[in-house]
Structure 1
Amino acid sequence: MTRLGRHGLDHVFHTVRNDFLEAARSWTDSTAPDDAGVAAVVELVDPTGERAGRVYTAVGEPERVTAVLRTVTPDDTVRGVLVTRGTGALAGEILSGWGLGPAATWDRMATETAPKVPDVGGAVVERLDLDRDIDEMADVLAEANPNSRLGVRDPRARRARWYGVRLPSDGAGRRKGALVAVGSATPVPGDAVHLGAIGTLPEFRGRGYAGAMTARMTADGVAERGLVTLGLYDDNVAARRVYDRLGFVLEHEVEQWHRV
């Protein structure tokens, strides 16, 4: 049975978490299993104790999420909140009262379908070895995706499987076999795989390399766990076209608030 399109506390945004936090409490205004607009709020904590405070995630119609948030009394510092986009306009007073300010808007997408991995002119999509390839991977990410939350030298990097694209022949002054794109696929709670740290060197964009790499990561993830998720900023039109083509569907429009 599909895990996509579920509501409330069963929503994929709540059941699949790439931050490895654990649920402490939850609230919902659910009235029936088919209530598509149901609001659900989950309080998350770091089980390791390394990150103090609480994080809250919410799904549902903004008006209903706001009503549920009014019933929440944090018993610790709130580090961040991720709510349905549009909630901030209604719950801004609540969130600012928790010491938060708006930070970003992005989308969570997901798929349960393994795409075909396209041929991109002989370029090779391969699994990378974090020990052997780490310096080359770090150089690519520093230029291709410097704002990635997961870097190859981050302690969490070893939870992920890393993939890359290598050139089929000499080009743009780079040797044959040079790494030009990198991405990660991390098994996460909720029996899923989450993709991230995806980037292609600027001079090699538009050749389909990121699409082929993402297709390979997605196909492997679906084969392993049946569900693959990823996040992207809502204005990243180019990336969205790639993910749409690979079968990803929009599961949640997110508005993120951080501590100020």
Structure 2
Amino acid sequence: MPGRVVGRSWVDAVRASGGDAFVRWHVPASAVREVRTGGTDHGAWWAVVVGPMSYWDTGALLVDGDPAAVAAVAGSLRAATGAPDLTVPAAAAALAGGAVGLGLEPGRTFGWAWRHTTRPLPAAPWEERVAWDPPVDDVARLLDEASPHAFVRPGSPWVRRWAGLRGDDGTLLACGAVTEHAPGVPHLAAIATHPAARGRGLGGALTAGMTRSLLGRHAAVSLALWASNDAARRTYARIGFADGHDYVGGPPAG
């Protein structure tokens, strides 16, 4: 089997990853199943097998380190651990030649990005209109218009709280949910802006307001976005969510 098993706890995962922010602030301790490390001629890698966590219901193998090293071992490592999904840095996926090189099923891989901040974001116009706990019926109507395929919706068991931003006439124009993967670390999700109100900075204002409030009680706040969502990427970078990881994930071929 590639690499060596160095532990089976969250503490082992943090140590093996060199204190990686994603492991510390997104992977719950209860989800860690196995931790491995290894190396190739290209450098070192580490891997964490995680079980189901929040709305990831299948578990995954998270592999990171030197991109060339990850590209060289990811496919065989996934097979050795039997993880149903594989997640690697986008740079490693590119070096491996994409889904086929990683042993994943073409057409079912997906790119996404994880971002976090530990510092309050610069104040944004409209931020003073951000308020907690809008009626869930208003949130549901907005998501139907703005993001009908959102993973997180009112009634989702992992939602801790909703926030919203209203226009002059009281209409809910933007919404977002606070979820949680690692205990005590808020993860923002289902951030959406009504189609008629886009381009005015409302999504950024909502994100900034939620984050400012949450950092008063928590060490970090995180969020995720699809790799193809360039508008969201620019917004989050502009308001301070510039650090993080870009990943590619998916199920094995066959």
> What is the identity, as a one-letter code, of the residue corresponding to 1:231?
A
- 1:199 pairs with one of 192, 198, 206: 192
- Return the TM-score normalized by structure 1: 0.76
- Residue 198 of structure 1 and its aligned partner are, at CA, apart by 0.4
- 1:80 pairs with one of 75, 82, 85: 85
- Return the TM-score normalized by structure 2: 0.78
SS of residue matched to 2:139:
helix
- Residue 256 of structure 1 and its aligned partner are, at CA, apart by 1.3
> What is the identity, as a one-letter code, of the residue corresponding to 1:88?
A
Cα deviation digits, residues 189-220 of structure 1 (max 9, x gap): 16422111000010011122111110011112
Per the alignment, do residues 101 and 16 of structure 1 end up closer, same or farther by CA in structure 2, a change over 3 Å counting? farther
Per the alignment, do residues 200 and 93 of structure 1 end up closer, same or farther by CA in structure 2, a change over 3 Å counting? closer
For the 8 Å contact 1:21–1:46, the answer to whether it is kept is no
- 1:188 pairs with one of 154, 164, 181: 181
Between the aligned residues of both structures, percent identity stands at: 27
Equivalence map 1:122-201=2 (5 Å) = 124-129=129-134, 133-157=135-159, 160-168=160-168, 176-189=169-182, 191-201=184-194
> What is the identity, as a one-letter code, of the residue corresponding to 1:119?
P
For the 8 Å contact 1:81–1:258, the answer to whether it is kept is yes
Per the alignment, do residues 126 and 29 of structure 1 end up closer, same or farther by CA in structure 2, a change over 3 Å counting? same
For the 8 Å contact 1:112–1:228, the answer to whether it is kept is yes
C-alpha separation in 2, matches of 1:182 and 1:20: 29
> What is the identity, as a one-letter code, of the residue corresponding to 1:111?
T
C-alpha separation in 2, matches of 1:7 and 1:147: 36
SS of residue matched to 1:231:
strand
Equivalence map 1:103-118=2 (5 Å) = 103-118=109-124
Measured on the aligned residues, the alpha-carbon RMSD in Å equals 3.2
For the 8 Å contact 2:119–2:215, the answer to whether it is kept is yes
SS of residue matched to 1:10:
coil
Equivalence map 1:14-33=2 (5 Å) = 14-17=23-26, 22-29=31-38
Per the alignment, do residues 54 and 166 of structure 1 end up closer, same or farther by CA in structure 2, a change over 3 Å counting? closer
Aligned residue pairs, count: 233
Cα deviation digits, residues 46-88 of structure 1 (max 9, x gap): 389x94x541112222221134433455455x33221111433
Aligned to 2:5: none
Identify unmatched segments of 5+ residues in structure 1: 1-5, 32-36, 169-175
- 2:203 pairs with one of 203, 207, 210: 210
For the 8 Å contact 1:41–1:68, the answer to whether it is kept is no
Cα deviation digits, residues 117-145 of structure 1 (max 9, x gap): 3232x97210015xxx1221111112212
Aligned to 1:55: 60
- 2:235 pairs with one of 229, 242, 248: 242
> What is the identity, as a one-letter code, of the residue corresponding to 1:252?
H
Cα deviation digits, residues 147-171 of structure 1 (max 9, x gap): 32211132222xx221101112xxx
For the 8 Å contact 1:82–1:255, the answer to whether it is kept is yes
SS of residue matched to 2:85:
strand
For the 8 Å contact 2:78–2:86, the answer to whether it is kept is no
C-alpha separation in 1, matches of 2:16 and 2:116: 15
